[in-house]
Amino acid sequence: MNIRPAEAADRAALEALAAAALPSWPPAAFAPADARQILVAELPAHGVAGFVVVQFALDEAELQALAVAAAHRRQGLGAALTDAAFACARRRRARVMFLEVRASNRAALQLYRRAGFEIYGKRPRYYRDPNEDAVLMRAALDSPLPAI
């Protein structure tokens, strides 16, 4: 597996992957932007099999989306993409990474916990179709986080 920054030629593959794995993710969010980093996981015989999108603001990073093609799950791609997102955020001098995830998304919650995220709150009924709470998670990228 190879993890690298997304290129313009990946756009169609990214949109197809998102349509299948994250239907509410807007295709416009794959547009290149200075404050956004999109990394793809590429498998030799299959091409792009996963992606992660990280948005940066000052010394904070937000993991906005992570998806792996259904046929290639449970092979470590999601964890590798999350690690690559951390490395990228550290290079940009971010001190903390945030994310929000559906309360029922046990696969993602488990992956994020194992990657080093901790739960710090929830947003009741944040998601629609179906209505659901968002679980708020964060991970310190360098020093310990202050208590909130």
Ligand X SMILES: CC(C)(COP(=O)(O)OP(=O)(O)OC[C@H]1O[C@@H](n2cnc3c(N)ncnc32)[C@H](O)[C@@H]1OP(=O)(O)O)[C@@H](O)C(=O)NCCC(=O)NCCS
Binding interface with ligand X (CB under 6 A)? 21-22, 65-68, 73-79, 101, 105-108, 110-111, 114
Q: How far is the CB of 143 from ligand X (least distance, A)?
A: 26
Instruction: Examine the residue annotation and report whether 100 is marked as an active-site residue of this protein.
Output: yes
Which is the catalytic residue, given 42, 60, 62, 112? 112
Which is the catalytic residue, given 42, 60, 100, 132? 100
By beta-carbon proximity to ligand X, the closer residue of 20 and 93 is 20
By beta-carbon proximity to ligand X, the closer residue of 14 and 101 is 101
* Residue carrying the six token digits 């999109």: 38
By beta-carbon proximity to ligand X, the closer residue of 129 and 143 is 129
Amino acid identity of residue 77, one-letter, is L
By beta-carbon proximity to ligand X, the closer residue of 26 and 93 is 26
Q: Is 19 helix (H, G, I), strand (E, B) or coil?
A: helix
Q: How far is the CB of 137 from ligand X (least distance, A)?
A: 11
Cα 84 → chain centroid: 10
Instruction: Examine the residue annotation and report whether 126 is marked as an active-site residue of this protein.
Output: no
- Residue 77 CB-density burial (10 A; 0-12 exposed, 13-18 middle, 19+ buried): buried
Q: Is 1 helix (H, G, I), strand (E, B) or coil?
A: coil
Q: In the bound complex, which residue of the shown chain has the CB atom lying closest to ligand X?
A: 78
**Residue of 57, 70, 67 whose CA lies nearest to 97:** 57
**Residue of 45, 46, 44 whose CA lies nearest to 17:** 46
Locate 30 and state its tokens: 């794959």
Q: How far is the CB of 101 from ligand X (least distance, A)?
A: 5
Tell me the catalytic residues: 100, 112
